[in-house]
Structure 1
């Protein structure tokens, strides 16, 4: 197996040590968008906007 595939594998069977409600991320969207623009990172800001609308369950 290629090392890149092994490194990119998402483990879904790992037990969580905290409830999902406590694992939610709170992102200051304005600050994050300013940082992305400052570093000329494109493509992530639209995804952040979608995540702000859709609650991850």
Structure 2
């Protein structure tokens, strides 16, 4: 299913949050986030997968 601008909905970037940063790993440019209700994903993300909260 496509939305009005011709993009398929499952491929549109989706951002949730903001989440509190628990730890920063400078050597690998990753951040560990405090995710609510621990989901089935590892809570550490590379900087390129995060976006700043404005």
Higher helix proportion (structure 1 or 2): 1
* TM-score, normalised by the number of residues in structure 1: 0.29
Structure with more relative contact order (C-alpha pairs < 8 Å, separation 6 or more): 2
Greater Cα radius of gyration, structure 1 or 2: 1
